[in-house]
Amino acid sequence: MKIVIGSDHAGYELKKAVVEHLLESGNEVVDVGTDSMESCDYPDFAPPVVSGIKSGDFERGILVCGTGLGMSMAANRYAGVRAALVSDLFSAEMSRRHNDSNVLVLSGMITAPPLARKIVDVWLSTEFEGGRHSKRIAKLDQIGDTP
Ligand code: RB5
């Protein structure tokens, strides 16, 4: 699978572990930064990941920050992005089966590499169920600024 990944400084270490795992598992990975633990701003790294997904160049995206909260807020501002902040295996599976999540968000402060690797594996290998969930995804795409 072709995967685009990004992080801020607080997600950098976990991102490195995830990238290594993805490559070992035979995926193609492009890392859009950051490239060190030097302090930076998480909103700078969601756009290149989102653009990789929206252009169709990548099938899935992964974002990592300290809590995962900032990255999921940033990514979910874009129409067509369904970013799921995940720290357990059940949510990893359900975010694919029911929500067709196309961006996985991980927390470098909460999730240790062994669990993150399992989350990534489940998330990548679980299919969207479609059916009644497709209608709900379509409704998500209708949501705009006016409630
Ligand atoms: C960085 O200190 C931290 O605020 C950031 O990684 C993230 O947790 C934001 O939501």
> What is the pTM (predicted TM-score) of this model?
0.98
Is the residue at 130 inside a domain? Answer: yes
Is the residue at 147 inside a domain? Answer: no
Distance of CA 64 from the midpoint of ligand 1 (Å) = 9
The Cα-based distances of 69 to 34, 86, 104, 109, 134 in angstroms read 17, 10, 12, 11, 26
Residue nearest to atom 10 of ligand 1 (CA): 70
Q: Which amino acid is at 5?
A: I
User: Domain range for residue 19?
Assistant: 2-142
Residue nearest to atom 9 of ligand 1 (CA): 70
Catalytic residues: 65, 98
Strands 60-65 and 2-7, by their bridges, are parallel
> How confident is the model over 76-133, as pLDDT tens digits?
999 999 999 999 999 999 999 999 999 999 999 999 999 999 999 999 999 999 999 9
Is the residue at 39 inside a domain? Answer: yes
What pLDDT score was predicted for residue 104?
A: 99
Residue nearest to atom 3 of ligand 1 (CA): 66
**DSSP structural state of residue 106:** E
> How confident is the model over 37-91, as pLDDT tens digits?
999 999 999 999 999 999 999 999 999 999 999 999 999 999 999 999 999 999 9
Pocket of ligand 1 (CB under 6 A): 8, 10, 42, 65-67, 69-70
Cα–Cα nearest to 119, from 43, 64, 66, 54: 64
What pLDDT score was predicted for residue 71?
A: 98
Cα–Cα nearest to 100, from 69, 66, 59: 59
Atom of ligand 1 nearest to the CA of 73: 10
- 3 state DSSP class of 54: helix
Asked if 12 contacts 61 with a C-beta cutoff of 8 angstroms, the reply is no
Residue 134, domain CATH: 3.40.1400.10
Distance of CA 139 from the midpoint of ligand 1 (Å) = 30
